[in-house]
Amino acid sequence: MIFLGIDPGTTTVWFALLEKGEKKYTILEYGVIETTPRESIWQKILWIVHDLDMLIQTYQPQVCWIEKLFFMKNVKTGIDVAQARWAVLYTLLSRGIIVKEFTPLQVKQWITGNGNAKKQQIQNAVKMLFWLEEIPKPDDAADALAIAYITAISTQHKKPLYF
């Protein structure tokens, strides 16, 4: 089974794809869908949907967990991120992918045991979980890997996991 984790945004959308093997989870790919900051939100959304669709066609994930919007200080930025997030959700759902959501606090709690964990703690936890020699780069890639890992683990349980 292939799992997709997404940390949404407008200029950057972080993603990670994992495959469950017999005894471990293998990282298939992780990275970022990037758009140009000066583009209109509509152009960014088209770019994000195009690249996400290419990932879906290549890896054919069955389940995706996407990080919920938690809080945005800048209302315009929050609205733009929400629009991009809904485009991502539509793309996933229209391709028959099961979609679930996590809050940033839930991701931190699950990966580190601390809902107030700092980015460095998440990076170190992801490094340990996947037996990596170094922290995934760029730094935010660890967030997407954490979300994909939680997706895989949660999907294996018959009852949903609650935090």
- Report residue 16: phi and psi, to 5°: -150, 140
If one counts every other C-beta atom within 10 angstroms of the C-beta of residue 95, the result is 14
Determine the Cα angle at 34 with ends 30 and 38, to 5°. 165
Determine the Cα angle at 112 with ends 73 and 98, to 5°. 70
List active site positions: 7, 67, 140
The structure tokens listed for 70 are 């938690």
How many Cα atoms occupy the beta-carbon half-sphere of 152 within 13 Å? 27
Partners of 3 in the β-ladder: 18, 63
